[in-house]
Each structure stands twice: as structure tokens, then as C-alpha cells.
Amino acid sequence: MNNKNTFLESNFTINCNGKLIDLNKPVVMGILNITPDSFYDGGKYKNEKAVLSQIEKMICEGAEIIDIGAYSSRPGAKEISEGEEKKRLKEVLHSIKHEFNDIVISVDTFRAEIAKMAFYEFGVDIINDISAGELDAKMFPVISEINIPYIMMHMAGNPGNMQNNPQYKDVVQELVYFFSVKINQLHNLGVKDIIIDPGFGFGKTIGHNYELLKKLQNFKILNLPILVGISRKSFIYKLLDISAKEALNGSTVWHTVALLNGANILRTHDVKEAMEAIKIVDMLKSGK
């Protein structure tokens, strides 16, 4: 990874199987959940036609990365077997690689064997791990072996219990320390292309989430790109007393603040609107 940054401005390039993504200007990662029970789009993409149509839509709207998840990580989500996760992914990845060979594909999994399968059988470009290796001790060695960019997210506990009264003395300080330890472990294994995700909504109260957003700039001390995944989450729609389907405007407000505070990647269901936020904030920052 090439990095040269100040506290206020990052400059990063990640190597995705030879495809270079410059994160000096923020990019959008489009979400594709192939699960029946995700909190917003669960069960929406049930067949190959629906999957490919949604990917084409997100690409046309400006997504540079497509993130595919076959395991729902919403609070209280039902656990599925590794075999079921693998089966769901194989069906979709086969179609995607055939139709969209040039797009950068990320696989959202915390299981090392799934990461290996996705890379060796389908050549996926990024692994997105909600547990930063906490749920599978083999994940870090596998990332070192396959040598592709790794997104590590902070989560307190697991999807089944993460929202059971999460507590921190200082949520920002504790997450910075958590990531610094993980980064050192990965560097010792030779892993260079690392992206951090504070894990909004994963083991945090509404107050914790807003504190993290307000102080997102503090994570720049880690000298790594920052991914923000807040699209239509409950800490937005519960505050506004609306539903996830009505939370597009709130999500865009969050994206805008996150960009102003240093986010490099917006992971979202709504690519077009996220791209618009990037353009507006870019204009604001450039003054042109």
C-alpha cells in the first residue's frame, strides 16, 4: 500500500489483484446481500437475474466495489453453517465473474475457509471481515496467504449478542487501541493492504455511534483508509422514528458528515445518492 497522509488528508492506493483503487478520492462500495433475512434487503435478490440486474445498476450508478454477503449479521441474526454460506456464495460468484469480470468484488465473511474458497475459486479482490479475525483465528494467516486487501471491522461480541448492553469508557479511544493491536498483528504477517471499519451499529448504542461519527477523524492516526457502513441502519431510523425503507435521507446526511470527517469508502445500499454526496463534499473541499 502506498500511503502519504496528514492528519486531515489521506492518500492511499490498494491493489486488488492488479486492479489499483485510488482512495485519495472517496469511493462507493455497493452492498449485495444474498441472504433471506438481512435487515433491509433480505430476500430481495433471490435469483440470478435479480442479482445481475442489481449489480449492473450499482455499477452504472458509480460503485467501484461490490460487496457480497451470504451471512446476515444484523442483530440477533440466525447463524448458518459454513456449508450454507459457501453454497450461497458459489452460486452468485460464478454468475458475477462471468458477467462482470472487471468489477472489484469484495466478499463479506468472517470465516477463513470461505475467504480461501472465494479467492482461489473465483479470484475475489477483497475480504470484508466483520470480526477483524475475532470469530476465526485462521483468518489472519489466510489473509497473509492470499495477499489481497482486508477490511477489518470492530464488533463487540458476535451478531447474536453484540447489542446486549454494549459499554465503553471511551468508545473512540478503545477502538483506536483495538485496531492498533490488530494492525500490528497483520503487519507481522506481511499484510499491507488493510482498511479499517469502526463497525457502526455492531455492539454500539445510538450514543456510541454518534460519538464515533463526530470523532471519525481520530482514526486517521492509524494511517489507513476508513470504511463507513451506516446505510439505513437503526441508529438513523430509530432516532427519526421511521423505518429502514424511509431512512435514505438520514443515510445521506450520515454519509456527508462521514466524508467531511475523513471516510474513504462508503458501503451502502444506495449508490447513486452516495455518489452525489461525494461530489458535493469534493466540491466543498476543493473550493472549485
DSSP class per residue in 109-173: -S-HHHHHHHHHHH--SEEEETTTTSS-TTHHHHHHHH---EEEE--SS-TTTTTSS---SSHHH
Assess whether 88 carries a catalytic annotation: no
In the three-class reduction of DSSP (H, G, I as helix; E, B as strand; rest coil), residue 258 is classed as helix
- What is the C-alpha to C-alpha distance for residues 203 and 219, in angstroms, rounded to an integer? 18
Q: Are 96 and 114 in contact (CB under 8 A)?
A: no
206 closest CA partner among 37, 110, 30, 75: 75
Q: Are 277 and 62 in contact (CB under 8 A)?
A: no
Biggest CA pair distance of the chain: 52
Instruction: Name the active-site residue from 74, 220, 233, 288.
Output: 233
Evaluated on CA atoms 37, 232, 209, 275, the torsion sign reads positive
Instruction: Name the active-site residue from 74, 111, 232, 267.
Output: 267
- What is the C-alpha to C-alpha distance for residues 288 and 285, in angstroms, rounded to an integer? 8
Q: Are 264 and 227 in contact (CB under 8 A)?
A: yes
Assess whether 267 carries a catalytic annotation: yes
- What is the C-alpha to C-alpha distance for residues 264 and 227, in angstroms, rounded to an integer? 6
Q: Are 21 and 27 in contact (CB under 8 A)?
A: yes
Contacts of 283 (CB under 8 A, 6+ apart): none
Q: Are 179 and 154 in contact (CB under 8 A)?
A: yes
- Active-site residue set: 233, 267
